Structure 1
Protein backbone atom coordinates (compact mmCIF):
# COMPACT_ATOMS: atom_id res chain seq x y z
CA UNK A 1 0.00 0.00 0.00
CA UNK A 2 2.81 2.37 0.94
CA UNK A 3 4.62 1.42 -2.27
CA UNK A 4 1.58 2.31 -4.42
CA UNK A 5 1.09 5.63 -2.64
CA UNK A 6 4.76 6.51 -3.05
CA UNK A 7 4.63 5.54 -6.73
CA UNK A 8 1.52 7.70 -7.35
CA UNK A 9 3.12 10.62 -5.48
CA UNK A 10 6.28 10.28 -7.57
CA UNK A 11 4.28 10.29 -10.84
CA UNK A 12 2.35 13.37 -9.72
CA UNK A 13 5.57 15.23 -8.83
CA UNK A 14 7.09 14.25 -12.18
CA UNK A 15 4.02 15.55 -13.99
CA UNK A 16 4.12 18.84 -12.03
CA UNK A 17 7.81 19.18 -12.78
CA UNK A 18 7.11 18.57 -16.47
CA UNK A 19 4.38 21.22 -16.46
CA UNK A 20 6.67 23.66 -14.67
CA UNK A 21 9.43 23.09 -17.20
CA UNK A 22 6.93 23.62 -20.05
CA UNK A 23 5.69 26.83 -18.39
CA UNK A 24 9.23 28.14 -18.01
CA UNK A 25 10.05 27.30 -21.61
CA UNK A 26 6.81 28.93 -22.83
CA UNK A 27 7.05 31.96 -20.51
CA UNK A 28 8.56 34.28 -23.17
CA UNK A 29 5.78 33.33 -25.61
CA UNK A 30 3.13 33.92 -22.91
CA UNK A 31 4.55 37.38 -22.18
CA UNK A 32 4.60 38.20 -25.91
CA UNK A 33 1.01 36.90 -26.27
CA UNK A 34 -0.15 39.15 -23.42
CA UNK A 35 1.57 42.16 -25.00
CA UNK A 36 0.01 41.34 -28.38
CA UNK A 37 -3.42 41.03 -26.75
CA UNK A 38 -3.10 44.48 -25.13
CA UNK A 39 -1.87 45.99 -28.41
CA UNK A 40 -4.80 44.41 -30.29
CA UNK A 41 -7.32 45.85 -27.82
CA UNK A 42 -5.76 49.31 -28.23
CA UNK A 43 -5.72 49.01 -32.03
CA UNK A 44 -9.35 47.86 -32.16
CA UNK A 45 -10.52 50.96 -30.28
CA UNK A 46 -8.17 53.28 -32.19
CA UNK A 47 -9.15 51.95 -35.63
CA UNK A 48 -12.84 52.07 -34.67
CA UNK A 49 -12.49 55.79 -33.90
CA UNK A 50 -10.55 56.42 -37.11
CA UNK A 51 -13.19 54.65 -39.22
CA UNK A 52 -15.93 56.67 -37.49
CA UNK A 53 -14.10 59.93 -38.29
CA UNK A 54 -13.54 58.89 -41.91
CA UNK A 55 -17.24 58.12 -42.33
CA UNK A 56 -18.32 61.33 -40.62
CA UNK A 57 -18.73 63.27 -43.88
CA UNK A 58 -20.22 60.35 -45.83
CA UNK A 59 -23.88 60.08 -46.79
CA UNK A 60 -24.43 57.00 -44.61
CA UNK A 61 -26.78 57.18 -41.65
CA UNK A 62 -25.26 57.63 -38.20
CA UNK A 63 -26.38 54.15 -37.15
CA UNK A 64 -24.65 52.61 -40.20
CA UNK A 65 -21.43 54.49 -39.41
CA UNK A 66 -21.40 53.14 -35.85
CA UNK A 67 -22.12 49.63 -37.15
CA UNK A 68 -19.18 49.69 -39.58
CA UNK A 69 -16.81 50.99 -36.89
CA UNK A 70 -17.87 48.21 -34.52
CA UNK A 71 -17.39 45.55 -37.21
CA UNK A 72 -13.86 46.84 -37.85
CA UNK A 73 -13.13 46.62 -34.13
CA UNK A 74 -14.43 43.03 -33.95
CA UNK A 75 -12.38 41.95 -36.99
CA UNK A 76 -9.20 43.37 -35.43
CA UNK A 77 -9.88 41.45 -32.20
CA UNK A 78 -10.46 38.19 -34.12
CA UNK A 79 -7.22 38.69 -36.05
CA UNK A 80 -5.39 39.27 -32.78
CA UNK A 81 -6.81 36.06 -31.26
CA UNK A 82 -5.56 33.96 -34.19
CA UNK A 83 -2.16 35.65 -33.91
CA UNK A 84 -1.99 34.88 -30.18
CA UNK A 85 -2.84 31.21 -30.77
CA UNK A 86 0.00 31.04 -33.26
CA UNK A 87 2.46 32.63 -30.81
CA UNK A 88 1.49 30.11 -28.13
CA UNK A 89 2.00 27.28 -30.64
CA UNK A 90 -1.60 26.22 -30.38
CA UNK A 91 -2.12 25.63 -34.08
CA UNK A 92 -3.61 22.20 -33.40
CA UNK A 93 -6.06 23.81 -31.02
CA UNK A 94 -6.88 26.35 -33.71
CA UNK A 95 -7.61 23.57 -36.21
CA UNK A 96 -9.84 21.86 -33.64
CA UNK A 97 -11.70 25.12 -33.04
CA UNK A 98 -12.23 25.66 -36.77
CA UNK A 99 -13.37 22.07 -37.23
CA UNK A 100 -15.96 22.37 -34.50
CA UNK A 101 -17.06 25.85 -35.55
CA UNK A 102 -19.55 24.45 -38.07
CA UNK A 103 -21.40 22.28 -35.58
CA UNK A 104 -21.19 24.90 -32.85
CA UNK A 105 -22.37 27.59 -35.27
CA UNK A 106 -25.42 25.53 -36.21
CA UNK A 107 -26.31 24.92 -32.57
CA UNK A 108 -25.79 28.56 -31.63
CA UNK A 109 -27.78 29.69 -34.67
CA UNK A 110 -30.77 27.58 -33.66
CA UNK A 111 -30.57 28.75 -30.04
CA UNK A 112 -30.14 32.42 -30.93
CA UNK A 113 -32.28 32.70 -34.02
CA UNK A 114 -34.31 35.53 -32.42
CA UNK A 115 -31.19 37.53 -31.57
CA UNK A 116 -29.69 36.85 -35.00
CA UNK A 117 -32.91 38.00 -36.65
CA UNK A 118 -32.80 41.24 -34.64
CA UNK A 119 -29.15 41.73 -35.60
CA UNK A 120 -29.90 41.27 -39.30
CA UNK A 121 -32.89 43.62 -39.02
CA UNK A 122 -30.69 46.17 -37.25
CA UNK A 123 -28.24 46.12 -40.18
CA UNK A 124 -31.11 46.66 -42.63
CA UNK A 125 -32.59 49.50 -40.54
CA UNK A 126 -29.18 51.17 -40.34
CA UNK A 127 -28.92 51.17 -44.12
CA UNK A 128 -32.39 52.28 -45.29
CA UNK A 129 -33.46 55.94 -45.48
CA UNK A 130 -37.02 55.48 -44.24
CA UNK A 131 -35.93 55.71 -40.60
CA UNK A 132 -32.96 57.55 -39.07
CA UNK A 133 -31.85 59.39 -35.95
CA UNK A 134 -34.11 62.30 -35.03
CA UNK A 135 -37.17 61.07 -36.96
CA UNK A 136 -40.54 61.06 -35.24
CA UNK A 137 -42.12 57.69 -35.99
CA UNK A 138 -45.09 55.53 -35.02
CA UNK A 139 -44.53 51.76 -34.95
CA UNK A 140 -46.06 48.83 -33.07
CA UNK A 141 -48.52 51.19 -31.30
CA UNK A 142 -45.64 53.32 -29.96
CA UNK A 143 -44.79 56.84 -31.04
CA UNK A 144 -41.74 59.01 -30.46
CA UNK A 145 -38.38 60.34 -31.65
CA UNK A 146 -35.72 57.86 -32.81
CA UNK A 147 -32.71 58.34 -30.51
CA UNK A 148 -30.77 55.13 -31.24
CA UNK A 149 -30.58 52.23 -33.70
CA UNK A 150 -28.29 49.38 -32.72
CA UNK A 151 -27.98 45.68 -33.55
CA UNK A 152 -30.75 44.71 -31.12
CA UNK A 153 -33.32 47.47 -30.74
CA UNK A 154 -34.65 50.77 -32.04
CA UNK A 155 -34.94 53.23 -29.15
CA UNK A 156 -37.59 55.94 -29.35
CA UNK A 157 -38.26 58.75 -26.89
CA UNK A 158 -41.97 59.37 -26.36
CA UNK A 159 -43.52 62.78 -25.82
CA UNK A 160 -43.58 62.13 -22.04
CA UNK A 161 -39.76 61.61 -22.20
CA UNK A 162 -39.97 57.86 -21.57
CA UNK A 163 -37.80 55.55 -23.66
CA UNK A 164 -39.25 52.56 -25.54
CA UNK A 165 -36.97 49.80 -26.86
CA UNK A 166 -38.48 48.09 -29.91
CA UNK A 167 -36.86 44.87 -31.22
CA UNK A 168 -35.48 45.48 -34.70
CA UNK A 169 -37.40 42.55 -36.14
CA UNK A 170 -40.78 44.01 -35.10
CA UNK A 171 -39.91 47.44 -36.53
CA UNK A 172 -38.79 45.97 -39.85
CA UNK A 173 -41.76 43.61 -40.26
CA UNK A 174 -44.51 46.05 -39.23
CA UNK A 175 -45.68 49.32 -40.81
CA UNK A 176 -43.78 52.47 -39.82
CA UNK A 177 -45.39 55.88 -39.88
CA UNK A 178 -42.66 58.51 -40.23
CA UNK A 179 -43.83 62.06 -39.52
CA UNK A 180 -40.43 63.53 -40.44
CA UNK A 181 -40.23 62.44 -44.09
CA UNK A 182 -42.48 65.27 -45.34
CA UNK A 183 -42.29 68.96 -44.32
CA UNK A 184 -46.08 69.42 -44.28
CA UNK A 185 -48.98 67.52 -42.72
CA UNK A 186 -52.69 67.82 -43.38
CA UNK A 187 -54.78 68.57 -40.29
CA UNK A 188 -58.42 67.50 -40.09
CA UNK A 189 -60.79 69.17 -37.60
CA UNK A 190 -64.35 67.89 -37.09
CA UNK A 191 -67.14 70.02 -35.62
CA UNK A 192 -70.92 70.57 -35.71
CA UNK A 193 -73.27 73.55 -35.83
CA UNK A 194 -76.93 74.06 -35.00
CA UNK A 195 -79.58 73.35 -37.65
CA UNK A 196 -80.64 77.01 -37.54
CA UNK A 197 -77.18 78.24 -38.69
CA UNK A 198 -76.49 79.87 -42.06
CA UNK A 199 -74.44 77.14 -43.72
CA UNK A 200 -72.82 79.32 -46.39
CA UNK A 201 -71.80 81.94 -43.82
CA UNK A 202 -70.34 79.28 -41.51
CA UNK A 203 -68.35 77.78 -44.39
CA UNK A 204 -66.87 81.14 -45.36
CA UNK A 205 -66.14 82.08 -41.72
CA UNK A 206 -64.29 78.84 -40.95
CA UNK A 207 -62.16 79.04 -44.10
CA UNK A 208 -61.22 82.66 -43.32
CA UNK A 209 -60.43 81.85 -39.69
CA UNK A 210 -58.19 78.88 -40.50
CA UNK A 211 -56.38 80.65 -43.35
CA UNK A 212 -55.59 83.60 -41.05
CA UNK A 213 -54.43 81.32 -38.20
CA UNK A 214 -52.08 79.39 -40.54
CA UNK A 215 -51.48 81.98 -43.26
CA UNK A 216 -47.89 80.81 -43.89
CA UNK A 217 -49.23 77.59 -45.46
CA UNK A 218 -52.88 78.20 -46.36
CA UNK A 219 -54.90 80.70 -48.33
CA UNK A 220 -58.68 80.77 -48.06
CA UNK A 221 -58.95 78.81 -51.31
CA UNK A 222 -56.62 76.07 -50.02
CA UNK A 223 -58.65 75.38 -46.88
CA UNK A 224 -61.07 72.54 -47.58
CA UNK A 225 -64.49 72.74 -45.89
CA UNK A 226 -66.96 69.87 -46.25
CA UNK A 227 -70.38 69.31 -44.66
CA UNK A 228 -70.43 65.63 -43.77
CA UNK A 229 -73.83 64.66 -42.39
CA UNK A 230 -77.05 65.55 -40.60
CA UNK A 231 -76.25 64.51 -37.05
CA UNK A 232 -78.67 63.83 -34.18
CA UNK A 233 -78.37 67.40 -32.87
CA UNK A 234 -76.09 69.21 -35.35
CA UNK A 235 -74.96 69.49 -38.94
CA UNK A 236 -71.42 68.12 -38.86
CA UNK A 237 -68.56 69.41 -40.99
CA UNK A 238 -64.88 68.73 -41.60
CA UNK A 239 -62.09 71.25 -42.18
CA UNK A 240 -58.76 70.30 -43.78
CA UNK A 241 -55.63 72.44 -44.00
CA UNK A 242 -51.83 72.16 -44.12
CA UNK A 243 -49.24 72.89 -41.41
CA UNK A 244 -45.50 72.43 -41.01
CA UNK A 245 -44.98 69.34 -38.88
CA UNK A 246 -42.28 66.76 -38.20
CA UNK A 247 -43.86 65.14 -35.15
CA UNK A 248 -47.25 64.07 -33.86
CA UNK A 249 -46.90 66.65 -31.07
CA UNK A 250 -46.75 69.50 -33.61
CA UNK A 251 -49.86 68.06 -35.28
CA UNK A 252 -51.71 68.03 -31.94
CA UNK A 253 -50.65 71.63 -31.19
CA UNK A 254 -51.80 72.83 -34.62
CA UNK A 255 -55.16 71.08 -34.22
CA UNK A 256 -55.61 72.68 -30.79
CA UNK A 257 -54.81 76.10 -32.24
CA UNK A 258 -57.40 75.62 -34.99
CA UNK A 259 -60.10 74.53 -32.51
CA UNK A 260 -59.46 77.62 -30.35
CA UNK A 261 -59.63 79.95 -33.38
CA UNK A 262 -62.84 78.39 -34.74
CA UNK A 263 -64.55 78.47 -31.33
CA UNK A 264 -63.61 82.15 -30.88
CA UNK A 265 -64.99 83.00 -34.33
CA UNK A 266 -68.24 81.13 -33.61
CA UNK A 267 -68.69 82.94 -30.27
CA UNK A 268 -68.10 86.32 -31.94
CA UNK A 269 -70.75 85.62 -34.59
CA UNK A 270 -73.29 83.89 -32.27
CA UNK A 271 -72.93 80.52 -33.98
CA UNK A 272 -73.95 77.70 -31.70
CA UNK A 273 -72.14 74.38 -31.32
CA UNK A 274 -75.03 72.37 -29.84
CA UNK A 275 -74.80 69.83 -27.09
CA UNK A 276 -76.24 66.38 -27.89
CA UNK A 277 -80.03 66.62 -27.51
CA UNK A 278 -82.42 63.72 -27.01
CA UNK A 279 -86.20 64.23 -27.28
CA UNK A 280 -88.43 61.91 -25.22
CA UNK A 281 -91.98 61.29 -26.51
CA UNK A 282 -94.41 59.99 -23.86
CA UNK A 283 -97.85 58.70 -24.88
CA UNK A 284 -100.93 60.58 -23.52
CA UNK A 285 -102.05 57.51 -21.58
CA UNK A 286 -98.91 57.81 -19.45
CA UNK A 287 -99.92 61.27 -18.15
CA UNK A 288 -103.59 60.27 -17.72
CA UNK A 289 -102.58 57.37 -15.49
CA UNK A 290 -100.29 59.59 -13.43
CA UNK A 291 -103.08 62.21 -12.98
CA UNK A 292 -105.54 59.55 -11.84
CA UNK A 293 -103.03 58.33 -9.29
Structure 2
Protein backbone atom coordinates (compact mmCIF):
# COMPACT_ATOMS: atom_id res chain seq x y z
CA UNK A 1 0.00 0.00 0.00
CA UNK A 2 2.80 2.36 0.91
CA UNK A 3 4.63 1.51 -2.29
CA UNK A 4 1.56 2.38 -4.39
CA UNK A 5 1.10 5.65 -2.51
CA UNK A 6 4.78 6.53 -3.01
CA UNK A 7 4.55 5.69 -6.70
CA UNK A 8 1.45 7.84 -7.15
CA UNK A 9 3.05 10.70 -5.23
CA UNK A 10 6.17 10.58 -7.36
CA UNK A 11 4.11 10.61 -10.58
CA UNK A 12 2.16 13.60 -9.33
CA UNK A 13 5.37 15.48 -8.49
CA UNK A 14 6.76 14.59 -11.89
CA UNK A 15 3.62 15.91 -13.57
CA UNK A 16 3.67 19.11 -11.54
CA UNK A 17 7.33 19.53 -12.41
CA UNK A 18 6.60 19.21 -16.11
CA UNK A 19 3.81 21.76 -15.78
CA UNK A 20 6.12 24.13 -13.94
CA UNK A 21 8.78 23.74 -16.64
CA UNK A 22 6.20 24.46 -19.31
CA UNK A 23 4.99 27.50 -17.37
CA UNK A 24 8.56 28.85 -17.05
CA UNK A 25 9.22 28.28 -20.74
CA UNK A 26 5.99 30.05 -21.71
CA UNK A 27 6.23 32.78 -19.06
CA UNK A 28 7.37 35.45 -21.58
CA UNK A 29 4.45 34.59 -23.85
CA UNK A 30 2.04 34.68 -20.89
CA UNK A 31 3.29 38.11 -19.86
CA UNK A 32 3.02 39.39 -23.42
CA UNK A 33 -0.52 37.93 -23.71
CA UNK A 34 -1.62 39.65 -20.47
CA UNK A 35 -0.18 42.95 -21.67
CA UNK A 36 -1.85 42.62 -25.09
CA UNK A 37 -5.24 41.78 -23.58
CA UNK A 38 -5.00 44.66 -21.08
CA UNK A 39 -4.09 47.08 -23.87
CA UNK A 40 -6.99 45.82 -25.99
CA UNK A 41 -9.45 46.41 -23.13
CA UNK A 42 -8.14 49.95 -22.58
CA UNK A 43 -8.20 50.71 -26.30
CA UNK A 44 -11.77 49.37 -26.58
CA UNK A 45 -12.94 51.85 -23.93
CA UNK A 46 -11.39 54.82 -25.71
CA UNK A 47 -12.69 53.69 -29.09
CA UNK A 48 -16.17 53.19 -27.62
CA UNK A 49 -16.18 56.74 -26.24
CA UNK A 50 -14.91 58.10 -29.55
CA UNK A 51 -17.59 56.28 -31.53
CA UNK A 52 -20.26 57.49 -29.10
CA UNK A 53 -19.14 61.11 -29.57
CA UNK A 54 -19.16 60.76 -33.33
CA UNK A 55 -22.66 59.25 -33.29
CA UNK A 56 -23.96 62.15 -31.20
CA UNK A 57 -23.66 64.28 -34.32
CA UNK A 58 -26.07 61.98 -36.16
CA UNK A 59 -29.85 61.64 -35.82
CA UNK A 60 -29.67 58.17 -34.29
CA UNK A 61 -31.59 57.49 -31.10
CA UNK A 62 -29.62 57.36 -27.84
CA UNK A 63 -30.23 53.63 -27.48
CA UNK A 64 -28.85 53.00 -30.96
CA UNK A 65 -25.75 55.09 -30.29
CA UNK A 66 -25.09 53.12 -27.12
CA UNK A 67 -25.59 49.80 -28.93
CA UNK A 68 -23.18 50.64 -31.76
CA UNK A 69 -20.48 51.88 -29.38
CA UNK A 70 -20.77 48.66 -27.35
CA UNK A 71 -20.54 46.53 -30.50
CA UNK A 72 -17.32 48.32 -31.49
CA UNK A 73 -15.91 47.88 -27.97
CA UNK A 74 -16.70 44.15 -27.90
CA UNK A 75 -15.16 43.71 -31.37
CA UNK A 76 -11.86 45.26 -30.21
CA UNK A 77 -11.79 43.02 -27.11
CA UNK A 78 -12.44 39.91 -29.21
CA UNK A 79 -9.59 40.84 -31.55
CA UNK A 80 -7.34 41.16 -28.52
CA UNK A 81 -8.50 37.75 -27.27
CA UNK A 82 -7.68 36.13 -30.59
CA UNK A 83 -4.19 37.70 -30.50
CA UNK A 84 -3.71 36.31 -26.98
CA UNK A 85 -4.64 32.79 -28.11
CA UNK A 86 -2.19 33.08 -30.99
CA UNK A 87 0.62 34.29 -28.71
CA UNK A 88 0.04 31.34 -26.37
CA UNK A 89 0.10 28.90 -29.30
CA UNK A 90 -3.45 27.83 -28.59
CA UNK A 91 -4.52 27.58 -32.22
CA UNK A 92 -6.43 24.36 -31.54
CA UNK A 93 -8.26 26.03 -28.69
CA UNK A 94 -9.02 28.95 -31.01
CA UNK A 95 -10.54 26.62 -33.59
CA UNK A 96 -12.58 24.93 -30.87
CA UNK A 97 -13.83 28.29 -29.59
CA UNK A 98 -14.84 29.40 -33.08
CA UNK A 99 -16.64 26.12 -33.79
CA UNK A 100 -18.41 26.27 -30.43
CA UNK A 101 -19.36 29.89 -31.02
CA UNK A 102 -20.95 28.95 -34.33
CA UNK A 103 -23.05 26.19 -32.79
CA UNK A 104 -24.05 28.30 -29.80
CA UNK A 105 -24.85 31.25 -32.06
CA UNK A 106 -27.13 29.08 -34.21
CA UNK A 107 -28.95 27.74 -31.14
CA UNK A 108 -29.35 31.22 -29.62
CA UNK A 109 -30.53 32.61 -32.96
CA UNK A 110 -33.27 29.99 -33.24
CA UNK A 111 -34.37 30.45 -29.63
CA UNK A 112 -34.44 34.24 -29.81
CA UNK A 113 -35.74 34.61 -33.34
CA UNK A 114 -38.52 37.02 -32.36
CA UNK A 115 -36.33 39.13 -30.11
CA UNK A 116 -33.58 39.33 -32.72
CA UNK A 117 -36.13 40.35 -35.36
CA UNK A 118 -37.29 43.21 -33.13
CA UNK A 119 -33.67 44.22 -32.49
CA UNK A 120 -32.84 44.28 -36.18
CA UNK A 121 -36.05 46.19 -36.92
CA UNK A 122 -35.15 48.72 -34.22
CA UNK A 123 -31.80 49.34 -35.88
CA UNK A 124 -33.54 49.79 -39.24
CA UNK A 125 -36.04 52.27 -37.76
CA UNK A 126 -33.18 54.27 -36.28
CA UNK A 127 -31.64 54.81 -39.71
CA UNK A 128 -34.73 55.60 -41.77
CA UNK A 129 -36.27 59.08 -41.74
CA UNK A 130 -39.90 57.98 -41.73
CA UNK A 131 -40.10 57.94 -37.93
CA UNK A 132 -38.44 60.19 -35.37
CA UNK A 133 -39.18 61.52 -31.90
CA UNK A 134 -42.19 63.83 -31.81
CA UNK A 135 -43.82 62.49 -34.99
CA UNK A 136 -47.53 61.70 -34.94
CA UNK A 137 -47.99 58.35 -36.66
CA UNK A 138 -50.59 55.64 -37.21
CA UNK A 139 -49.54 52.00 -37.45
CA UNK A 140 -51.10 48.61 -36.73
CA UNK A 141 -54.39 50.25 -35.78
CA UNK A 142 -52.82 52.58 -33.17
CA UNK A 143 -52.23 56.31 -33.41
CA UNK A 144 -50.12 58.66 -31.30
CA UNK A 145 -46.90 60.63 -30.80
CA UNK A 146 -43.56 58.81 -30.95
CA UNK A 147 -41.87 59.34 -27.57
CA UNK A 148 -39.35 56.49 -27.58
CA UNK A 149 -37.70 54.03 -29.95
CA UNK A 150 -35.48 51.28 -28.59
CA UNK A 151 -34.33 47.82 -29.63
CA UNK A 152 -37.63 46.21 -28.66
CA UNK A 153 -40.49 48.54 -29.50
CA UNK A 154 -41.78 51.93 -30.62
CA UNK A 155 -43.60 53.78 -27.84
CA UNK A 156 -46.61 55.94 -28.78
CA UNK A 157 -48.49 58.39 -26.57
CA UNK A 158 -52.14 58.37 -27.62
CA UNK A 159 -54.51 61.37 -27.42
CA UNK A 160 -55.89 60.05 -24.09
CA UNK A 161 -52.29 60.02 -22.72
CA UNK A 162 -52.08 56.22 -22.68
CA UNK A 163 -48.88 54.58 -23.90
CA UNK A 164 -48.80 51.92 -26.62
CA UNK A 165 -45.71 49.75 -27.19
CA UNK A 166 -45.54 48.45 -30.76
CA UNK A 167 -42.94 45.73 -31.48
CA UNK A 168 -40.40 47.01 -33.98
CA UNK A 169 -41.01 44.05 -36.28
CA UNK A 170 -44.69 44.95 -36.73
CA UNK A 171 -43.88 48.61 -37.41
CA UNK A 172 -41.34 47.70 -40.11
CA UNK A 173 -43.54 45.08 -41.80
CA UNK A 174 -46.80 47.09 -41.81
CA UNK A 175 -47.81 50.43 -43.37
CA UNK A 176 -47.02 53.59 -41.41
CA UNK A 177 -49.05 56.79 -41.74
CA UNK A 178 -46.95 59.74 -40.59
CA UNK A 179 -48.98 62.92 -40.04
CA UNK A 180 -45.82 64.92 -39.34
CA UNK A 181 -44.31 64.70 -42.84
CA UNK A 182 -46.15 67.88 -43.90
CA UNK A 183 -46.74 71.22 -42.17
CA UNK A 184 -50.54 71.04 -42.49
CA UNK A 185 -53.39 68.61 -41.92
CA UNK A 186 -56.76 68.44 -43.63
CA UNK A 187 -60.01 68.55 -41.68
CA UNK A 188 -63.05 66.86 -43.24
CA UNK A 189 -66.54 67.70 -41.94
CA UNK A 190 -69.60 65.81 -43.18
CA UNK A 191 -73.19 66.92 -42.59
CA UNK A 192 -76.64 67.09 -44.20
CA UNK A 193 -79.45 69.65 -44.60
CA UNK A 194 -83.16 69.32 -45.27
CA UNK A 195 -84.56 69.15 -48.79
CA UNK A 196 -86.30 72.49 -48.25
CA UNK A 197 -82.96 74.30 -47.76
CA UNK A 198 -81.45 76.84 -50.18
CA UNK A 199 -78.33 74.93 -51.21
CA UNK A 200 -76.43 78.00 -52.43
CA UNK A 201 -77.09 79.81 -49.16
CA UNK A 202 -76.01 76.74 -47.15
CA UNK A 203 -72.73 76.51 -49.07
CA UNK A 204 -71.90 80.21 -48.58
CA UNK A 205 -72.90 80.09 -44.90
CA UNK A 206 -70.70 77.08 -44.14
CA UNK A 207 -67.69 78.65 -45.86
CA UNK A 208 -68.23 81.96 -44.07
CA UNK A 209 -68.57 80.21 -40.70
CA UNK A 210 -65.38 78.21 -41.07
CA UNK A 211 -63.47 81.25 -42.34
CA UNK A 212 -64.50 83.24 -39.25
CA UNK A 213 -63.47 80.51 -36.81
CA UNK A 214 -60.03 79.57 -38.18
CA UNK A 215 -57.30 82.18 -38.52
CA UNK A 216 -55.11 79.83 -40.59
CA UNK A 217 -57.58 80.07 -43.51
CA UNK A 218 -57.06 83.24 -45.57
CA UNK A 219 -60.05 83.19 -47.95
CA UNK A 220 -63.11 81.18 -48.94
CA UNK A 221 -61.33 79.66 -51.92
CA UNK A 222 -59.21 77.63 -49.47
CA UNK A 223 -62.37 75.87 -48.25
CA UNK A 224 -63.73 73.04 -50.39
CA UNK A 225 -67.51 72.51 -50.20
CA UNK A 226 -69.03 69.57 -52.07
CA UNK A 227 -72.57 68.21 -52.13
CA UNK A 228 -72.33 64.43 -52.15
CA UNK A 229 -75.77 62.85 -52.54
CA UNK A 230 -79.50 63.03 -52.08
CA UNK A 231 -79.83 60.98 -48.95
CA UNK A 232 -82.89 59.26 -47.50
CA UNK A 233 -83.75 62.24 -45.30
CA UNK A 234 -81.19 64.93 -46.20
CA UNK A 235 -78.94 66.38 -48.86
CA UNK A 236 -75.47 65.45 -47.66
CA UNK A 237 -72.36 67.58 -48.13
CA UNK A 238 -68.68 67.50 -47.25
CA UNK A 239 -66.43 70.40 -46.28
CA UNK A 240 -62.63 70.25 -46.39
CA UNK A 241 -60.12 72.77 -45.08
CA UNK A 242 -56.51 72.81 -43.84
CA UNK A 243 -55.05 73.72 -40.45
CA UNK A 244 -51.44 74.43 -39.51
CA UNK A 245 -50.83 71.33 -37.43
CA UNK A 246 -49.64 67.76 -37.95
CA UNK A 247 -51.20 66.34 -34.80
CA UNK A 248 -54.25 64.13 -35.15
CA UNK A 249 -55.44 65.51 -31.81
CA UNK A 250 -55.41 69.05 -33.20
CA UNK A 251 -57.33 67.83 -36.25
CA UNK A 252 -59.99 66.35 -33.96
CA UNK A 253 -60.19 69.62 -31.99
CA UNK A 254 -60.55 71.65 -35.21
CA UNK A 255 -63.33 69.36 -36.41
CA UNK A 256 -65.14 69.80 -33.08
CA UNK A 257 -64.83 73.60 -33.33
CA UNK A 258 -66.18 73.51 -36.89
CA UNK A 259 -69.14 71.32 -35.90
CA UNK A 260 -70.13 73.64 -33.05
CA UNK A 261 -69.83 76.75 -35.24
CA UNK A 262 -71.75 75.26 -38.20
CA UNK A 263 -74.54 73.95 -35.94
CA UNK A 264 -74.95 77.39 -34.34
CA UNK A 265 -74.99 79.08 -37.77
CA UNK A 266 -77.67 76.66 -38.99
CA UNK A 267 -79.79 77.26 -35.89
CA UNK A 268 -79.52 81.05 -36.27
CA UNK A 269 -80.62 80.88 -39.90
CA UNK A 270 -83.36 78.29 -39.53
CA UNK A 271 -81.57 75.56 -41.46
CA UNK A 272 -82.64 72.07 -40.47
CA UNK A 273 -80.22 69.16 -39.99
CA UNK A 274 -82.66 66.25 -40.39
CA UNK A 275 -82.35 62.83 -38.90
CA UNK A 276 -83.78 59.60 -40.37
CA UNK A 277 -87.56 59.45 -39.90
CA UNK A 278 -90.28 57.09 -41.10
CA UNK A 279 -93.58 58.45 -42.48
CA UNK A 280 -96.69 56.24 -42.61
CA UNK A 281 -99.08 57.05 -45.48
CA UNK A 282 -102.53 55.72 -44.53
CA UNK A 283 -105.39 55.49 -47.06
CA UNK A 284 -108.22 58.00 -46.41
CA UNK A 285 -110.95 55.32 -46.58
CA UNK A 286 -109.21 53.07 -44.07
CA UNK A 287 -111.72 51.77 -41.54
CA UNK A 288 -110.51 50.74 -38.11
CA UNK A 289 -112.58 47.93 -36.59
CA UNK A 290 -112.42 47.43 -32.80
CA UNK A 291 -112.25 44.03 -31.16
CA UNK A 292 -115.80 44.26 -29.71
CA UNK A 293 -117.30 44.79 -33.15
CA UNK A 294 -115.45 41.71 -34.35
CA UNK A 295 -117.08 39.61 -31.65
CA UNK A 296 -120.54 40.77 -32.74
TM-score, normalised by the number of residues in structure 2 = 0.78
1:148 aligned onto 2:148: yes
Separation of aligned partners in 1, 2:160 and 2:13 = 70
2:280 aligned with 1:287:
no
Q: Report how far residue 13 of structure 1 moved.
A: 8.2
Residue 249 of structure 1 is matched in structure 2 by 249
Describe the shift of the 1:292–1:102 C-alpha distance in structure 2 as closer, same or farther (beyond 3 A).
same
Q: Which runs of 5+ in 1 are unaligned?
A: none
Which region of structure 1 is more displaced relative to structure 2, 83-92 or 190-199?
83-92
Which residue does 1:203 correspond to in 2? 203
CA shift, 1:76, in A, is 3.9
**In the TM superposition, what is the alpha-carbon distance from 1:94 to its structure 2 partner?**
2.9
Report how far residue 37 of structure 1 moved.
6.8
Measured after TM superposition, the shift of residue 206 of structure 1 is 0.2
Q: What pairs with 1:210-221 in structure 2 (closer than 5 Å)?
A: 210-221=210-221
| Contact residue 156 and residue 165 of structure 1 kept, 8 A | yes
Give CA-to-partner distance per residue, 1:183-213, whole Å, 9 cap, x none. Answer: 1111110111122211111100001111222
Once residues 3 and 279 of structure 2 are traced to their aligned partners in structure 1, the CA distance between those partners, rounded to angstroms, is: 110
Q: Check 1:10–1:161 CA distance in 2 against 1; reply closer, same or farther (3 A cut).
A: farther
Q: CA deviation at 1:113?
A: 2.9
Moved more, 177-186 or 90-99: 90-99
Equivalent residues, number: 290
* Contact in 1 for aligned 2:234/2:274 (Cα 8 Å): yes
State the superposition RMSD in angstroms.
3.9
Q: Distance in 2 between matches of 1:225 and 1:114?
A: 49
Deviates more, 1:239-248 or 1:83-92: 83-92
Q: Distance in 2 between matches of 1:36 and 1:198?
A: 88
Partners of 2:80 and 2:3 in 1: CA distance: 47
- Deviation string, structure 1 residues 91-126 (Cα, Å, up to 9, x no partner): 543331113333333333333333332232222211
- Tell me the CA shift for residue 34 of structure 1: 11
1:116 aligns with 2:110: no
Query: How high is the TM-score relative to the length of structure 1?
Result: 0.78
Q: Distance in 1 between matches of 2:91 and 2:73?
A: 24
Give 1:127 deviation, angstroms. 1.1
Alignment of 1:2-13 (within 5 A): none
Q: What displacement does 1:176 show?
A: 0.2
